[in-house]
Amino acid sequence: MFGADKGSAGPLDGRKFSIGIVQARWNEGVTDALFKACHAELLALGVQEKNIAHVKVPGALEVPVALQAMAERDDFDALIALGCIIRGETYHFELVANESGAGVTRVSLDYRLPIANAILTVENDEQALARQTDKGIDAARVAVEMAHVLDSIG
């Protein structure tokens, strides 16, 4: 829910982590803003620029396979999926939203690797624009927090 109480993770320190980001180009104005906010927050959390890998793919359906390729490298403590799916007049919206989400989750579970899913699924451009910065920041924070969680579990 937009504006929901997310709780507090406390201070996050990303200095020791390596983070991979996969960004869909479809709706690139929005995904560029997501990346910019996410990247800035990762740096603010202490993740070193040299430990941030960024790749672009055509659309949301291609995000999971790029995440999988990054996961297979075993170089990352967490990954981030960025994209924007805006509802159209056909069933294609549901297909892309459902399949990309399922693919992201599958990669995360198969590789026991946290993936912050910031593939926006919105009704219109206005909703996308309203969320692009906050969700980019959220994705960075989730990635660092979950990297800590899995690190502490062992």
Q: Is 54 a catalytic residue?
A: no
Secondary structure of the chain as H, E, C letters: CCCCCCCCCCCCCCCCCCEEEEEECCCHHHHHHHHHHHHHHHHHCCCCHHHEEEEEECCHHHHHHHHHHHHHHCCCCEEEEEEEEECCCCCHHHHHHHHHHHHHHHHHHHHCCCEEEEEEEECCHHHHHHHHHHHHHHHHHHHHHHHHHHHHHC
Active-site option among 39, 54, 92, 148: 92
For 50, half-sphere exposure in the C-beta direction (CA atoms, 13 angstrom radius) is 2
Residue 117 in contact with residue 104, Cβ under 8 Å?
yes
Query: Which amino acids are annotated catalytic?
Result: 92
